[in-house]
Amino acid sequence: MCAWFCSGRSNTELVHRLRASNVITSERVKEVMLRLDRGNYAPNFAYDDSPQYLGYEQTISAPHMHAHALELLKERLVPGATVLDVGCGSGYLTAAMARMVEPKGRVVGIDIVKPLVSLAKSNIEKADDDLLTKGVVTLECKTGWEGDKEKGPYDAIHVGAAASSVPRSLVEQLKVGGIMIIPVGPEGGNQVLCRVQKIKDQGPIEETFVAQELLGVRYVPLVRQSPHG
């Protein structure tokens, strides 16, 4: 996607370069990314099209990957939808998806690292605090392998860390017709971004969804237990 050509000196320049490079292909995604200043969510080099370290062995994904995720999920990110963001990290993608499903939709952001849940909350509060006060965004400390069944089922699920296999519990929490975007593969090995669609509720789990491999990626692992509390 020639991502290194998309860096900008401002949020506006970054987004326009992503659009000019056809990483962003829709007006909805462009407008949402223009509205959310990445400078409120990335600690350093906010407008570089590269991942940035958040601490706790976690990163905020490069802007082109956020744009790609929004484009892949946009058919389900409609007003009134219910969404799960696994690995909310900086809070950026949680807030972006919330802007696409507001005012009556809801995005549940979860992270296994408790300090990152607090970071996501403080970042959203900088300029997008209405998402919290109106209940469009809910943030919880939970494991991505288990998700958040109580607040589902979900029209869309985004997973921001690589799982060794598609988590059964997350598939079960999708609505029929719902879509999940998830990187799959071993830590440090070959990983593939997959589009998973729930096709039915009944039957063996492997028969309830279809998965499409999209592109090679490199993500931090989806861990089952946080070493950081």
Active site residues: 61
User: How much is the CA Rg of the chain, to the nearest whole Å?
Assistant: 16
Residue among 98, 19, 24, 14 nearest 50 (CA): 14
CA 90 to chain centre: 10
Q: How far apart are CA 87 and CA 71, in angstroms?
A: 19
Number of neighbouring beta carbons within 10 Å of residue 199 = 14
CA dihedral 31, 214, 221, 38 (to 10 degrees): -10
Helix axes 114-127, 92-101, angle to 10 degrees: 50
